[in-house]
Amino acid sequence: MKKYLVIGNPIGHSLSPSIHNHWMKKYRLIDSIYEKRKVEKEDLGSIVNEIRNEKIKGVNVTVPFKKEIIPFLDCLDGAAECTHSVNTLCKVNNEVWGYNTDTPGFRTSLTKDSSIDVRNKNIFILGAGGVTSSILEIFLDVANKIYITNRTKEKAQELKKLADISLTLMGRKKIIEVINWGEKPQVCDIVINTTSVGLAKGESLDLDFKDYENNNNALFYDIIYNPKETNFLKDAKLRGNKTMNGKMMFLWQAKIAFHIWTNICPEIDDEVIKLLD
């Protein structure tokens, strides 16, 4: 039996097993099974060893362990290295590799599913939690200006520090500005909620987006996909802005992980999209 896992804490809400087991059935990987496991920080080393000993074939890592898993790994792929965030593990030759499929997943959701051209845009990122560096990464080489705000400002400043290193390596000027929570930057082209506000039904961000009234060019993107429409998106829709939730990002990151493990490129069709509804 080939065993796959998603690990995190809490993990009950994860829809990764439905998606991956659906694909495993569809592509007739009858000896494969994907499960979820709630783990503690102390378990991370032994999970990686289970991959090394081939007791587990592949693992997805979710909150709060995307950074904590890194010291146990032998190698990181490019996006994982740049963002210090890992969401997929796989044994390659004799090494356990960590990949970040959130970054390409987010990029693909924007380029393929939203038809937004991200080049030379002004971006406003809300939050500086575990997933934010994966989102920020895709704008570094293309954006005009990036504003980041987080309730705890120091975490946004840490993100900027990490991203500034990448910008320097790219030969780009420092395009990131950290602003206070509640402060308003210029009107931006894309506003992304990477905070956890909205995960619980009815929760709202205490931020003012009145300047976006009737702006049908601005895209409001919430990486949350459950609930389907957070108040952040509901309000944006009412103002006349474009909106997008995190469903496609979630599916693209899963597709890339599945490909890493099985060498099969699974289809994102209506059937699999429906599993998230």
Distance of CA 273 to the CA centre of its chain: 17
**Does 8 engage in binding with ligand ATR (CB under 6 A)?**
no
With CB under 6 A as the contact rule, the residue among 63, 175, 187, 264 that binds ligand ATR is 63
Direct distance between the N- and C-terminal alpha carbons of the chain, in angstroms, rounded to an integer: 30
In the complex, the smallest distance separating the C-beta of residue 205 from ligand ATR, rounded to whole angstroms, is 6
Amino acid letter at 50?
E
Indicate the residue among 17 and 129 with the shorter CB distance to ligand ATR: 129
Contact range with ligand ATR by CB under 6 A, out of 33-41, 54-62, 157-165, 189-197: 189-197
Q: Is 152 in the site for ligand ATR (CB under 6 A)?
A: yes
Binding mask 113-132 for ligand ATR (x = CB under 6 A): --------------xxxxx-
Distance CA 218, CA 252 (A): 23
Residue whose entry in the numeric block shows the structure tokens 């032994």: 46
Closest CA to 190 of 249, 105, 116: 116
Kind plus residue range of the DSSP H or E element containing 16: helix 16-26
Least distance from ligand ATR to the Cβ atom of residue 67, Å: 8
- Measured CA to CA, the distance from residue 135 to residue 121 in angstroms comes to 14
Query: What gap in Å lies between CA 266 and CA 119, rounded to an integer?
Result: 29
150 binds ligand ATR per the rule CB under 6 A: yes
Contact with ligand ATR (CB under 6 A): which of 155, 172, 184, 242? Answer: 155
Pick 105 or 130: Cβ nearer ligand ATR: 130
Stretch that binds ligand ATR, among 41-49, 93-101, 104-112, 145-153 (CB under 6 A): 145-153
Residue nearest to ligand ATR (CB): 129
User: Site for ligand ATR (CB under 6 A): how many residues?
Assistant: 14
- Minimum CB distance to ligand ATR, residue 193 (Å): 9
CB atoms within 10 A of CB 211: 13
HSE (side-chain half, CA atoms, 13 Å) at 98? 26
